[in-house]
Amino acid sequence: MSSSLSVYLLDPKAARALVGSRDDQLLDVIRDRFGADMASDDRYFSSEIEEGAPTAYEALRAVVHGGPYVEDKHVAFQYGYAYKRLCSLTGSLLDNSSFCPFRGDWLEVVDEGLRALRITAVSVAEFGYGGLPEGVPSYDLPRCGEWTHEQCLEALEQFERTKRDGHAPPLEPEVVDAVMDVIGWLRHVEARPGFGVVGFVS
């Protein structure tokens, strides 16, 4: 079974602040922009919805209003995807071609490549271990994590230091491609004060 990592350039604090914001205007914007996408998701999860899971819009409204949430943990995935939808609205999707799809321990393999280049301030595997903002129900997928602006700048400085030192460990070509994707994300963050990266594994 394959997974995917989607990463967004945005202000993580601002994204978390949308949870419980009770911003009905935001809900209207999302319904207008993602209506077809949410309808498609509802068809895909129709059996789960018949068994009590909220629809995509119901989950989105619950997240924006801070509840109420369906208590069954097996339907919590809808709230995770609702938060992802908020991030996709307020952020910019970054190039994830090396991570969509991926299999097995690929994120850990890329982290090994980052560490070989002495980049330790960020970890792509952490996107698969993190959780949703406080208060949002979470169970299994999607998983979510974030890198702060400061972490990204530190990682970029570590990369530049590695280059200055002439440190070039042998890496598999596909790992090099993935690492360079990560460096690209960091450079986007560098150009946007206060911004960071939020990633979702699903």
Quote the pLDDT of residue 184.
Answer: 98
Q: Which residue has the tokens 């914001």?
A: 21
Quote the pLDDT of residue 199.
Answer: 98
Quote the pLDDT of residue 28.
Answer: 94
Q: How many CA atoms lie within 13 A of 119 on its CB side?
A: 27
Per-residue pLDDT reduced to its tens digit, 144-155: 999 999 999 999
Quote the pLDDT of residue 131.
Answer: 83
Has residue 38 got a pLDDT over 90? yes
Contact 13, 68 (CB under 8 A): no
pTM of the entire predicted model: 0.93
Has residue 180 got a pLDDT over 90? yes
Quote the pLDDT of residue 110.
Answer: 98
Number of other residues whose CB lies within 10 A of the CB of residue 159: 21
* Number of H-type helices and E-type strands within the chain: 8, 4
**In whole numbers, what is the pLDDT of the chain averaged over residues?**
95
- What mean pLDDT do residues 83-90 have? 94
Q: Which residue has the tokens 């702060």?
A: 148
Q: How far apart are CA 44 and CA 49, in angstroms?
A: 10
Quote the pLDDT of residue 16.
Answer: 95
Buried b (16+ CB within 10 A) or exposed e, 29-50: ebeeebeeebeebbeebeeebe
Has residue 129 got a pLDDT over 90? no
- What mean pLDDT do residues 35-46 have? 96
- In which band, very low, low, confident or very high, does the pLDDT at 1 lie, cut at 50, 70 and 90? confident
Contact 142, 82 (CB under 8 A): no
